[in-house]
């Protein structure tokens, strides 16, 4: 079967009709392949080899889409910098058009190593194909995965993913990249093969079109997906003190966990870490004061697209709830969403590690009662009363011992919600790597 995976997904879960259509398409493809296959028997080991090959792909970077850019792309190229948690001997990319109202045509795509400091690449970019073709049309509401591209990478490498689009399109976007990405001028055409950064004269702090990068590495044991709101997305991770910012330094707590995995776990217990955070989102879909622009982006609704559709996932780090309280959800609604998400993840064979809701000085007394109820549930038996597999005690790391409903001042960016660079590192340092290693797929 082709390595191109095409999906048509809404803002949340795939519909039954879409799944049925996908199943029919796969069945038809299987019939065509069976009809065209010679009658000579294949070696008995071929099936197991193919399965082993499929299991060697892991999502090493992700940036969940949340809408379309306010500025349209028009016959131009984009160069997005992806920071890999682990490397491999090849990679492939996911291009999404989940929020587009019309098909997206990608005329060309390349990948190349980058030093992360600008639009130039290290060496000539490597062409990326889709079912063997240079061009691909991504349907409205859909996504595609590329063929494998032979580019050898290592843990913590930056990779420049370049795409050229034709026509005028509303580009799918992840708002907060916490680094600089690059675009050529409208009408400038295809510059994906350029090693020079000179054509990429425009910059953005967001990520366009590309939403995941897989690496091929049979030595890896799984993908850990951090799933949540702005505290996962990376808000505060560029804050190094008053008047100090470090964008592009990859200092989210998830980045720090990835570096700890590379440094501290043995070679036979290495994992990728993919970040599936979207700022402002809630765990529950039912919070009455949710921003209308974020409807459909809650943890329940986007689980299929942003977690289950990634590759090699063996564990999820679930950090949700603070926005639920702010948006009017009570403990019952939050716990209902937790149970729904945890059930679906565990049914997929994925282990779930959860943090209690972290402190926030703006909570009402009732908010704090609800926070306590959720925290007791998460901490019961240290595994969410049997519905999850472990606890990440981030609430204890961040709380001020003098004012336990507030963040420790030395970790606070100033809004009482988000952790600065020092706080991000403290969160990463409290994570039990042996606990996460228990999610190993083999």
Look up residue 269 and give its two tokens: 């217990």
Q: What is the pTM of this model?
A: 0.89
Look up residue 19 and give its two tokens: 């799944």
Instruction: Kindly report, residue by residue over 315-338, the tens digit of the pLDDT.
Output: 999 999 999 999 999 999 999 999
Per the CB < 8 A criterion, the answer to whether 80 and 127 are in contact is no
SS3 percent helix, strand, coil of the chain, rounded to 5, is 30, 25, 45
pLDDT at 171: 96
CATH number of 221-437: 3.40.50.1110
Instruction: Kindly report, residue by residue over 352-403, the tens digit of the pLDDT.
Output: 999 999 999 999 999 999 999 999 999 999 999 999 999 999 999 999 999 9
Per the CB < 8 A criterion, the answer to whether 12 and 302 are in contact is yes
Task: Map residue 310 onto helix, strand or coil.
Answer: coil
Instruction: Kindly report, residue by residue over 273-298, the tens digit of the pLDDT.
Output: 999 999 999 999 999 999 999 999 99
Instruction: Kindly report, residue by residue over 410-439, the tens digit of the pLDDT.
Output: 999 999 999 999 999 999 999 999 999 999
Angle between the 365-379 and 331-347 helix axes, to the nearest 10 degrees? 30
Q: How many Cα atoms within 13 Å fall on the side-chain side of residue 36?
A: 7
Considering the chain, what percentage of its residues have pLDDT values greater than 90? 87
Torsion angles phi and psi, residue 366, rounded to 5? -65, -40
Bridge partners of 204? 181
Of 32-46, 164-178, 244-258, the range with the lowest mean pLDDT is 32-46
Question: Could you state, in order of their start, the residue ranges of all structural domains in the chain?
Answer: 62-213, 221-437
User: Tokens 């969940």 identify what position?
Assistant: 64
Considering Cα of 129, then 133, then 139, then 145, what sign does the dihedral take? negative
Residue 16 has pLDDT above 70, yes or no: no
Parallel, antiparallel or unpaired: strands 73-83 and 181-183: antiparallel
CB-based contacts of 53-56 (< 8 A; 24+ apart in sequence): 55/218, 55/312, 55/441, 55/442, 56/216, 56/217, 56/218, 56/220
User: What gap in Å lies between CA 335 and CA 357, rounded to an integer?
Assistant: 12
Show Cβ contacts of residue 209 under 8 Å, excluding neighbours closer than 6 positions. 78, 80, 95, 96, 104, 106, 163, 165, 171, 172
Distance of CA 318 to the CA centre of its chain: 13
Torsion angles phi and psi, residue 124, rounded to 5? -70, 130
């Amino acid at each position: 079967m082709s390595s191109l995976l095409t999906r048509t997904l809404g803002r949340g879960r795939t519909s039954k009709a879409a799944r049925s259509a996908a199943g029919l398409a796969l069945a038809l493809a299987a019939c065509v392949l069976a009809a065209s296959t010679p009658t000579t028997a294949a070696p008995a080991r071929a099936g197991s080899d193919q399965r082993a090959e499929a299991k060697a792909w892991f999502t090493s970077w992700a940036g969940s889409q949340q809408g379309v850019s306010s500025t349209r792309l028009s016959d131009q190229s984009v160069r997005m910098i992806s920071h890999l948690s682990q490397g491999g001997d090849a990679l492939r990319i996911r291009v999404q058009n989940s929020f587009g109202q019309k098909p997206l045509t990608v005329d060309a795509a390349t990948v190349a190593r980058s030093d992360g400091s600008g639009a130039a690449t290290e060496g000539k970019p490597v062409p990326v194909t889709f079912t063997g073709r240079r061009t691909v049309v991504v349907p409205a509401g859909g996504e595609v995965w590329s063929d494998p591209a032979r580019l050898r990478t290592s843990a913590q490498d930056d990779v420049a993913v370049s795409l050229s689009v034709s026509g005028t399109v509303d580009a799918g976007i992840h708002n907060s990249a916490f680094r600089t990405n690059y675009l050529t001028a409208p009408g400038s055409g295809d510059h994906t093969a350029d090693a020079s950064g000179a054509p990429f004269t425009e910059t953005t702090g967001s990520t366009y079109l590309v939403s995941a990068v897989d690496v091929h590495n049979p030595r890896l044991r799984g993908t850990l997906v951090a799933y949540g709101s702005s505290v996962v997305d990376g808000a505060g991770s560029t804050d190094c003190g008053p008047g100090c910012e470090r964008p592009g330094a990859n200092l989210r707590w998830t980045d720090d966990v990835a570096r700890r995995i590379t440094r501290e776990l043995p070679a036979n217990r290495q994992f990728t870490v993919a970040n599936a955070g979207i700022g402002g989102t809630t765990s529950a879909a039912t919070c009455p004061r949710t921003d209308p622009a974020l409807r459909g982006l809650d943890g329940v609704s986007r689980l299929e697209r942003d977690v289950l559709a990634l590759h090699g996932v063996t564990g999820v780090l679930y950090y949700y709830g603070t926005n639920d309280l702010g948006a009017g959800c009570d403990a019952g609604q939050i716990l209902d969403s937790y149970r729904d998400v945890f059930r679906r993840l565990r049914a997929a064979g994925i282990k779930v590690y959860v943090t209690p809701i972290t402190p926030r000085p703006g909570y009402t007394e009732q908010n704090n009662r609800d926070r306590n109820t959720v925290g007791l549930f998460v901490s019961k038996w240290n595994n969410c009363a049997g519905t999850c597999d472990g606890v990440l005690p981030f609430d204890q790391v961040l709380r001020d011992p003098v004012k336990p409903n507030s963040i420790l001042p030395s970790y606070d960016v100033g809004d009482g919600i988000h952790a600065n660079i020092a706080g991000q590192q403290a969160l990463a340092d409290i994570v039990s790597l042996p606990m996460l290693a228990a999610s190993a797929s083999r």
